[in-house]
């Protein structure tokens, strides 16, 4: 972490910390990190709160080694590298990071429902109180939990994982990947030149992943097993065999020192449901300025909903900039909505902070 003020779970006090900023960003995924940069560019002192212990959100938690192809200007960039770049981009404006803490309640300074013009207070589950003039919620899909592999509980830490943290950790291993979505297929492709062998097991014949990626994996050296499910994991102190049952009942053993269960995840937006923002299908409704129905609260990224919404990282970046610019004019109506291009400012700093 290159930011200068980080509150991690083991360093932040259990309660009573008071943080005073212009803008609070809830969520440290790609959209949130870009919002922190853009808020700094607008001259706003900014804090970023996230329930995870490190920035990066879903990208770092679920696919840090995955190549991302739809970020403008990058033919392909690994998730962890994208996050590192975003943290570095925001770092010159010194955002305050409050990590490992979940944003719980939203009130005004009097502890009441916010009204237009009120200073806002967001309190975390560890008692940190962030005082701010506006909030941008970039919580992605909310708090997410990987769907477990049936019967896999006792193998976690002994060969079963739900995330590929480092490709090199699987060098020379026989790897079985379970799932049919983009993560499963992408990890199979990424590990083909690293692992001793890769077997991809999917319970259906058709994959949910992008067709081009499926075609790539079918042309590669990955063993693709469809219409089948993992029936048993076998080993001593460590995993050594995965048994796969076909629809006809036939069971085939595959050598495996690692199983990667890419079965998706469950998501929960949690306390945000009690903030009074309008929701639809557990997403936050916003207008074209990324405003919610609560004064001073904006939203951007995957957690938002509006007609024509497209959930891409690239879209989230634009929404984050829109939300921050509109929040800046909410905080100071004398500020212009458009601050000018960053390339026009040699110092890299845009409009002045609100008085």
How many alpha carbons fall within 13 Å on the CB side of residue 42?
A: 31
Instruction: Give the domain extent around 137.
Output: 5-144+266-344
**Residue 183: per-residue pLDDT:** 83
Whether residue 351 lies inside any domain: the answer is no
Cβ neighbours around 197 below 10 Å, total: 17
Q: Tell the residue number behind the tokens 């109506």, with chain if given.
A: 333
Of 242, 263, 284, the position where a domain reaches its end is 263
Do 116 and 172 have their domain in common? no
Taking phi over 0 as left and psi of -120 to 50 as alpha, with beta for the rest, 179 belongs to: left
Instruction: Note the pLDDT of residue 10.
Output: 40
Nearest to 24 by CA among 274, 317, 297, 326: 297
Beta strands 134-137 and 23-26, pairing class? parallel
- Cβ partners under 8 Å of residue 254, min gap 6: 174, 176, 199, 223, 241, 242, 243, 244
The pLDDT value recorded for residue 178 is: 96
Show the low-confidence residues of the chain (pLDDT under 70). 1-16, 140-145, 266-268, 345-355
> How many angstroms separate the CA atoms of 309 and 88, rounded?
28
The torsion angle over the Cα atoms of residues 199, 205, 211 and 217, rounded to 10 degrees, is 20
Q: Are residues 237 and 317 in the same domain?
A: no
Same domain, 72 and 218: no
State the total domains in the chain: 2
- pLDDT for 11: 40
The CATH number given to whatever domain includes residue 37 is: 3.50.50.60
Do the domain assignments include residue 252?
yes
Q: Which of 263, 294, 321 is the last residue of a domain?
A: 263
Specify the pTM: 0.73
Known binding-site positions: 50, 58, 63, 103, 144, 302, 343
Per the annotation, where are the binding residues for FAD?
A: 50, 58, 63, 103, 144, 302, 343
Residues 38 and 181 in one domain: no
Please give the pLDDT value at position 18: 95
- Within a domain: residue 93? yes
């Amino acid at each position: 972490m290159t930011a200068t003020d980080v509150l991690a779970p083991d360093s932040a006090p259990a309660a009573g910390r008071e943080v005073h900023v212009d803008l609070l960003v809830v969520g440290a995924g790609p959209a949130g990190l870009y919002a922190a940069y853009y808020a700094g560019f607008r001259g706003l002192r900014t804090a970023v709160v996230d329930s995870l212990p490190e920035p990066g959100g879903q990208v770092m938690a679920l696919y840090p080694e995955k190549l991302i192809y739809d970020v403008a200007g990058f033919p392909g960039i690994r998730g962890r590298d994208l996050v590192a770049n975003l943290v570095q981009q925001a770092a010159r404006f010194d955002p305050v990071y409050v990590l490992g803490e979940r944003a719980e309640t939203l009130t005004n300074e009097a502890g009441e429902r916010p009204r237009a013009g009120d200073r806002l207070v967001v309190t975390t589950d560890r008692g940190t109180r962030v005082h701010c003039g506006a909030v941008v919620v970039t919580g992605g899909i909310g708090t997410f939990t990987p769907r477990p592999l049936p019967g896999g509980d006792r193998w976690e830490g002994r060969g079963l994982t739900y995330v590929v943290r480092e490709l090199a950790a699987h060098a020379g291993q026989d790897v079985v990947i379970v799932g049919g979505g983009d993560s499963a297929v992408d990890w199979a492709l990424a590990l083909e030149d690293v692992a001793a062998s890769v077997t991809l097991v999917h319970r259906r014949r058709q994959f949910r992943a992008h067709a081009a990626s499926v075609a790539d994996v079918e042309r590669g050296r990955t063993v693709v097993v469809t219409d089948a499910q993992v029936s048993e994991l076998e080993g001593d102190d460590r995993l050594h065999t995965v048994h796969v049952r076909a629809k006809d009942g036939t069971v085939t053993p595959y050598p495996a020192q690692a199983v990667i269960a890419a079965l998706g995840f469950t998501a929960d937006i949690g306390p945000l449901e009690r903030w009074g923002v309008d929701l639809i299908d557990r997403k936050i409704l916003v207008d074209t300025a990324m405003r919610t129905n609560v004064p001073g609260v904006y939203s951007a990224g995957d957690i938002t909903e509006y007609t024509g919404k497209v959930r891409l990282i690239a879209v989230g970046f634009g929404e984050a900039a829109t939300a921050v610019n509109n929040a800046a004019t909410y905080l100071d109506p004398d500020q212009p909505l458009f601050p000018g291009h960053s390339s026009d400012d040699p110092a890299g700093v845009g409009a002045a902070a609100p008085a």
